[in-house]
Amino acid sequence: MSKSDPNAPKRLALIASKGTLDWAYPPFILASAAGAMGWEVGIFFTFYGLPLLKSDLHMQVSPLGNPAMPMKMPFGPEGFQNIVWPMPNILMANVPGFEAMATSLMKQTFKNKGVASIEELRDMCVDLDVKMIGCQMTMDVFGFKREDFIKECTVGGAAMFLEYAADADVQLFI
């Protein structure tokens, strides 16, 4: 439906360009919220955002070089949970498995706070008919195959997304 139709629903066009656990959230949260409001939603997954469309998701978060990320524990008494642990880069860079640990702590924190998992949010987006477009060029560059990705996504390029975004009321790059 184009904008010339006054009864056309609002449209949201997102670019998801980041594939870490933290940055996987904004596109799926915005898309499912917009879908719940009856908007048409399309997300173009490109570069590091493309793996968010894989059937098996393995996102991680890296606190290294990310001073804005609060380092807190998702368990123990409240006073303990509120401690922000100072983590020098030299420690984060040299301890094997530091990212895996940070990832499991973040997942636990989100779960404790009632935040849905990326898998759940993506399933909701599928339910809400969010159009998910995987970037063909990224697929070729990283050597991914179509069968690595969920069957609900389509594959396309920049022109295909831009045509969709040209008729959108809200366009965001994430």
Partner 1 sequence: MDVLKEDQVLDCSGMSCPMPVVKTSKAIKTIEVGQVLKMVATDPGAPPDMEAWSRQTGNELLRSTQEDGKFVFFIKRLK
Site residues, partner 1 (CB under 8 A):
10, 29, 32-33, 35-39, 113-116, 121, 124, 128
CB neighbours of residue 139 within 10 Å: 19
Q: Name the E strands within 3-108.
A: 11-16, 40-45
CB of 55 to partner 1, least distance (A): 22
CB of 120 to partner 1, least distance (A): 9
CB of 69 to partner 1, least distance (A): 19
Residue closer to partner 1, measured from CB, 9 or 157: 9
CB of 34 to partner 1, least distance (A): 9
Residue closer to partner 1, measured from CB, 102 or 124: 124
Is the separation of the CB atoms in 105 and 74 below 8 Å?
Answer: yes
CB of 35 to partner 1, least distance (A): 8
Residue closer to partner 1, measured from CB, 39 or 149: 39
In order of 66, 91, 99, the CA distances from 88 in angstroms are 11, 5, 14
108 membership: H or E segment, kind and range: helix 98-112
How many CA atoms within 13 Å lie on the side-chain side of 95? 15
Residue closer to partner 1, measured from CB, 59 or 124: 124
Residue closer to partner 1, measured from CB, 37 or 101: 37
Distance CA 168, CA 160 (A): 13
Residues recorded for the chain: 174
